[in-house]
Amino acid sequence: MDLKTKLPNPNASRKQRVTGRIMTAVERVRVDSETNLRDILDKVDEISINHVDDTHFFTLSQVYEDLLLKMGEKNSDGGQFFTPREVIRAMVHTLGPKLGDTIYDPCCGTGGFLAIAYEHIARNLGHAPASTDLDTLKHDTFFGREKENLVFPIALANLVLHGVDQPNLWHGNTLTKRASYSALFDKAPKTFNMILTNPPFGGKEGKDAQKNYAYATSSTQVLFVQDILGELAFGGRCGIVLDDGFLFRKDDDAGLPAILTETWTEDENSKGDFPSYARLLPKRGTKAGESRYSWTVNFAARRKQAREDRKPHTDEAARLKAEVVSLKEKLKVLKAANPKDKKIEALQTKIGEHEKAAREAQSKADAIAAAVFDLKAVNPNAIVKIDTRTPEEVIQSIDDQGRIVAKALETLRGLLHNDG
């Protein structure tokens, strides 16, 4: 039976539709011989859902995850959509999804965030969860959208293998709102109380997508942030991967206004120490939550200090602008009385100087305001090691190390000679 024929069939079950969409990326199945075909059919005939328990699903899901990881290492096919699972697990642990949440990823790729969130909730349900809880978890909890034709069926298969037997995934462009296939998304709510995602970096969208958002920009990442704000339920939580261009305002096209009160920052030199991250996270905002690589940034305090630091510059800019207005009135009177008055040129020069000074003062004030959101603050807990050796001591150290290496090589040669 051709599983693709189930796609347009209005009587197809939800599971049949999921299976059909998984098969959409398979253009041709090659079987080398009649013997192989017979063996395949025999194996398929032996498969029974009654013989597949959670242990089997776990093993299959791990094999599939390993295949996705290898695709990512080769940077081919769906590999470009593979977010490191350590990052995903840290984000899922931070948000702590639970049964009853509606969890959504607007650009789900191969479904990593949704799959790990499923594992997190299922683990906390215990060994003998109620059947109603399992139905809620498997059918009414996870929702996602994906644009790429090849990746969409991969995401469906990944979620099915993890235990989400009826994934609520939408195939199409999230930003333009144009769907290629939406039948599996018909149970989705209008908003979600948890969003986990890693929007694509560096992408560009045309006017067709930009018109759907208040802040019109071609930046795919900025558009996704706006989309998330629109689909996150009141009081909901969001875990999102954003690059430094967005966070640190390196890119003018990523200048979306942000409202922050406090952030817990992890130094890039920690090299992804996620066990430490998980242990310190509940203590963030306190001294106990700080370490060599993590510290708290109080944005409320930074904004207050920035307002104080900006005030002299904004006051100066306002004073100069007021003087420019007054000087322009004098210039207008002079020109009306005598267009050839020698004072006119001097007054014009003074107006130009005041306008330039006002711009410079305002620029200083704006730079102070922008610095509030620069998260690249130097780690206050970093241990700085200073080499206080003299040049002669450095040379001596190099000489000593050379002697050690020479002695080791001599020992190796002796061992090789004895073996011979």
pLDDT digits (tens, 9 = 90+) for 226-270: 999 999 999 999 999 887 777 665 555 555 544 445 666 655 555
Return all residues near 153 (Cβ < 8 A) that are at least 6 apart: 21, 22, 23, 24, 25
- Is residue 189 situated within a structural domain? yes
**pLDDT at 102 (0 to 100):** 97
Domain containing residue 401? 386-420
- Is residue 304 situated within a structural domain? no
Q: Do 252 and 360 share a structural domain?
A: no
What are residue 143's DSSP bridge partners?
104, 168
Q: Do 100 and 185 share a structural domain?
A: yes
Q: Do 170 and 121 share a structural domain?
A: yes
**Gyration radius from the chain CA atoms:** 31
Q: Do 362 and 335 share a structural domain?
A: yes
Q: For 143-172, write each residue's pLDDT tens digit.
A: 999 998 888 988 898 898 888 988 999 999
* Alpha-carbon gap, residue 138 to 136, rounded angstroms: 6
Bin 96: left if φ > 0, else alpha if -120 < ψ < 50, else beta: left
The stretches of 50-172 forming alpha helices (DSSP H) are: 54-74, 85-95, 112-125, 131-139, 151-162
* pTM attached to this predicted model: 0.65
Q: Do 196 and 87 share a structural domain?
A: yes
| Three-class SS state of 202 | coil
| Three-class SS state of 388 | coil
Q: What are the phi and psi torsion angles at 187 (to 5°)?
A: -95, 5
Return all residues near 397 (Cβ < 8 A) that are at least 6 apart: 389
Q: Do 249 and 363 share a structural domain?
A: no
Sheet with 103-105, strands from edge to edge, namely: 178-181, 168-173, 142-146, 103-105, 192-197, 232-240
- 331 close to 350: Cβ distance less than 8 angstroms: no
Q: Do 207 and 172 share a structural domain?
A: yes
- 40 close to 54: Cβ distance less than 8 angstroms: no
Mean pLDDT of the chain: 81
Q: Do 415 and 364 share a structural domain?
A: no
Q: Do 247 and 128 share a structural domain?
A: yes
- Is residue 199 situated within a structural domain? yes
End-to-end CA distance of the chain: 68
Q: For 348-364, write each residue's pLDDT tens digit.
A: 999 999 999 999 999 99
SS3 content of the chain, % helix, strand, coil (to 5): 60, 10, 30
- 184 close to 14: Cβ distance less than 8 angstroms: yes
Is residue 123 packed enough to be buried (19+ CB in 10 Å), middle (13-18) or exposed (0-12)? Answer: exposed
- The total number of structural domains that make up the chain: 3
pLDDT range class, residue 70, cuts 50, 70, 90: low
